[in-house]
Amino acid sequence: MADRQEQVLDAAIRVLGTRGLRQLTHRAVDTEAGLPLGSTSNLFRTRDALVDGVLRRLVQVETGAWHALAADLPPGDAAAFTAVLGHLLRDLTGEGRVIVLARYALFIEAAFHPQLRERIGVARQELERWGVPLMASLGVPDPAAGFGMLLSLIDGLLSNQLAHDDPTFDPEAAIGTLLRGLLG
């Protein structure tokens, strides 16, 4: 992805994650990125193109986080996976909260726009291509179903923590419980 395009999309994610979808305009992104007016429009002619670009960038950022998560994990170590994933979730509800809020804004919009819902489905398939083998390496008997449950748990944990900042947030307890159940 070109540097300027990445700069614009990162600014769009910040707009989306701090102000919501209604405020995601070409002008707002230009201002957030510190670029001359019209810069975003030159790269993304329509709002749909901008939203699609934001979704692609979110997938890139979040997939990168998942890859970094798995890079140092010993194969088959559910306890290490739980600890690292817990750390990631704490980051995503702290410094990384804008990314999660931007993704959730797109998810809500997808409920009303079938094309966006379809694009989110494609993005989820990309994540599954990476995550299902990871679940298999942990010994989960049905890795696809297990990964789906893990994603659902993660989304629930994130949304609850973002909606109500609980100082005792302990994602490892829920993740560990799920993995123990999946592993039998």
Distance CA 129, CA 173 (A): 26
- Residue predicted with more confidence, 87 or 68: 87
- Is domain 52-183 in CATH 4.10.410.60, yes or no? no
What predicted TM-score, i.e. pTM, was given to this entire model?
Answer: 0.88
Q: What is the reported pLDDT for 64?
A: 84
77/1: higher pLDDT: 77
Q: How far is CA 144 from the centre of its chain?
A: 18
Residue 24 makes CB contacts below 8 A (sequence gap 6+) with: 12, 15, 16, 47, 50, 51, 54
SS3 category, 9: helix
d(CA 63, CA 41): 26
Confidence band of 154 (pLDDT split at 50, 70, 90): very high
Contact 161, 150 (CB under 8 A): no
Rounded to a whole number of angstroms, the distance between the first and last alpha carbons of the chain is 43
